[in-house]
Amino acid sequence: EVQDLSPQRAVAIIDWPQSGRILDYCAGGGGKALAIAARSDAAIHVHDVNPARMRDIAPRAERAKVTLHPFDNTLKYDVVLTDVPCSGSGTWRRDPEAKWHLAPERLDDLTQIQAQIMDEAAALLRPGGRLVYMTCSLLCEENEDQVAAFLARHRGWSRTTMARFAPPEASDGFFVAAASITLTALLLFLSKRRARARDHALLVTAGKVAADDPVPVFCTDAAGAIIFQNRAAEDRFKDRLDQSMS
């Protein structure tokens, strides 16, 4: 599939899980979903608020020999990607006329939509999941400021990835960031669910999935975000969380 260099680079810097479920929440034509499928064996689900935008997904997936699953609001996801509607300022080099169509009022509307999408996406994540945020914008209001506002609204979350691609170094301007809940907040969440989860929380505070683990399977960074030894350790940890909450 032909795709601009910048979104390809943005997809490449995210460490996508190799199992579980990934949701492309603003899928459009499915370009990001197909790019993720080339890097992950996880089940890829797609959604768009306007289903008509996804009309090309089925033939593109068939051509790429990729299976994409429809969104299921009864499921929780390991990663939710939000490639949100934006000003498109990163594309103005090849579409200069577009900048004359962006008014301050429209930018305000877009930032409100972006914040709403991020909040909706966060609610679709399983405990320990990650939210990935992308725009084809170079405006701070839609990028760094939007991520900071999300973290302020969702206490206990930590940014784990952030990168900006400018036209001189890539092609279109593009922005990507990822965030996940910190270990402290995750354990607090578990402790409120049930006594069994509280017992499990005591085990994982030492970075171990089970009491008989010889070494910790994860540690935390300075902000308290979970850093796993490897993907297998991450998958095992999430399985144990599911068991604790069942």
Single-letter code of the amino acid located at 159: R
Q: The tokens of 246 are what?
A: 């069942």
8 Å CB contact between 25 and 81: yes
Residues in the chain: 246
Catalytic residue among 26, 86, 136, 219: 136
Residue 151, Cβ neighbours under 10 Å: how many?
A: 16
C-alpha 106/C-alpha 68 separation (Å) is 33
Does 136 qualify as catalytic in the annotation?
yes
Q: Which residue intervals of the chain are DSSP H helices?
A: 5-12, 31-37, 57-64, 104-122, 144-153, 183-193, 195-204, 231-245
Name the pairing type of β-strands 21-24 and 77-83.
parallel
C-alpha 231/C-alpha 236 separation (Å) is 9
Name the pairing type of β-strands 226-228 and 77-83.
unpaired
Residues 134, 137, 141, 144, CA torsion sign:
positive
Q: Which of the residues are catalytic?
A: 136
